Every structure is written in structure tokens, then in C-alpha cells.
Amino acid sequence: MKPIQLFDPASSTYTYVLFDEASRDAIIIDPVDVQLERDLATLRQYGLKLLWTVETHAHADHITSAGQLAELAGAKTAAPEGCGITTAAVQLKDGDTLHFGNEQIRALHTPGHTPGSIALYLDREGKCVLFGQDIHGPFNAAFGSDIEVWKKSMQTLLALNADILCEGHFGIFQPKEKVRGYIERYLEEYE
């Protein structure tokens, strides 16, 4: 499984599009407004029907077009409970699942970078694929960062033993040794 990976050079962020091969139902993770037309064109190019836009936390470099994209594509919005995004149709709690076609993706509460951060993961073709936006931080009191809470969240992510990590600023890491190494590197840096 390889998600469609879209990069925004202005904010140096990645948006990820996942879809079910059979139904062409799709989900998009952290779309940014400067790339709205690109995201719509990508959906058309691959013949996808967008069901969900998901915001992983309330930072503009990841989420600013989620609502508008969902409206234009006839999709629903989802955001973490407690992150400050109140406009989403669904407030995701730890363990909640979103379905698209025969696929499903699960939310994992990972506060620390922001109070309401989530990671998302799914199992596909026997591999755990993790979408962990801003694993690397940064940490700032102005947006409610708590590095000790973040460390616990990173231990939760390590326990998934993910095969593939799709990170919000640094792209895709695989196999699982590189995923583990990426997360552990930041745990060591902030020790």
C-alpha cells in the first residue's frame, strides 16, 4: 500500500490521500489551502470519491482547506476531540474508526505537540501504516505543547511497531526499523 503523497513547498508539509481500490472511496489527511485545486485535481485524476477529510491537529500548515475541500467534494470532516477545531462533523476520540470502502483507519490520541493531536493508522496487506504528523515537534507553550505528555505518546506509537510511517513534514519512512529509528531519534533529542 502506498498512499498518494502530495507536498506543499510553501509550508513544507505532506498531505496524504488513501483510497480503497475497489470502491475508489478516499480519505485525505491534513490538506492545506494553498493546494486545494491540486487536491481536487488529484481526486479527479485517480477517479476517487472523497468521503473524509481528517485534521490531525489544529495547525494551519496541515489543515486549512479541510472544510472547503470536504464541501466541494461532498465529504465529511473529522478532527480530534479537544484540539480546538469545532467545525468538524465528527470529533475523533482515541480508538475511533473511519471507513472508506472496505478500508478503515483508526485514530490514536497522541497529545504533546498540541493538546488534541492524533495519529492515524491502518493495516493493509499485513503491514501497519502510521500517519504521524509532527512527531518531531516543535514544542511551544503558545500552542499548548507538553513534552512529557508527548514522550508518552511516542511510546504509544512505538508500541504499534509500524511498518511504514507517513510523516507530515519529512515524508515516508520504511521498513519498521527506520520508523522506530525516526521516533527514537526525537525521543533522544528531547530527553
Determine the Cα–Cα distance for residues 109 and 117; give it in Å rounded to an integer: 6
Phi then psi dihedrals of residue 2, to 5 deg: -130, 120
Please choose, from the candidates 163, 95, 103, 153, the residue with its C-alpha nearest in 3D space to the C-alpha of residue 128: 163
On the question of a cis peptide bond just before residue 175, with omega within 30 degrees of 0, the verdict is: yes
Q: What per-residue confidence (pLDDT) applies to 68?
A: 84
Burial grade of 161 (CB within 10 A; 0-12, 13-18, 19 or more): exposed
Beta sheet of 90-92, edge-to-edge order: 4-8, 13-19, 25-29, 49-54, 76-80, 90-92
Q: What per-residue confidence (pLDDT) applies to 148?
A: 95
Burial grade of 142 (CB within 10 A; 0-12, 13-18, 19 or more): exposed
Determine the Cα–Cα distance for residues 134 and 118; give it in Å rounded to an integer: 10
Domain covering 4-189: architecture = 4-Layer Sandwich (3.60)
Delimit the domains of the chain by residue range: 4-189
From first to last of its 191 residues, the chain has per-residue pLDDT tens of 578 888 877 778 888 999 999 999 999 998 876 678 888 999 999 999 999 999 887 755 556 667 788 888 999 999 888 877 777 889 999 999 999 999 999 999 999 888 888 999 999 889 999 999 888 888 888 878 899 999 999 999 999 999 999 998 899 999 999 999 999 999 999 98
Q: What per-residue confidence (pLDDT) applies to 134?
A: 81
7 forms bridges with which residues in the sheet? Answer: 14
Query: Model pTM greater than 0.85?
Result: yes
Q: Residue by residue, what is the 3-state secondary structure of the chain?
A: CCCEEEEECCCCEEEEEEECCCCCEEEEECCCHHHHHHHHHHHHHCCCEEEEEECCCCCHHHHCCHHHHHHHHCCEEEEECCCCCCCCCEEECCCCEEEECCEEEEEEECCCCCCCCEEEEEEECCEEEEEECCCCCCCCHHHCCCHHHHHHHHHHHHHHCCCEEEECCCEEECCHHHHHHHHHHHHHHCC
Task: Tell me the longest C-alpha to C-alpha distance in the chain.
Answer: 46
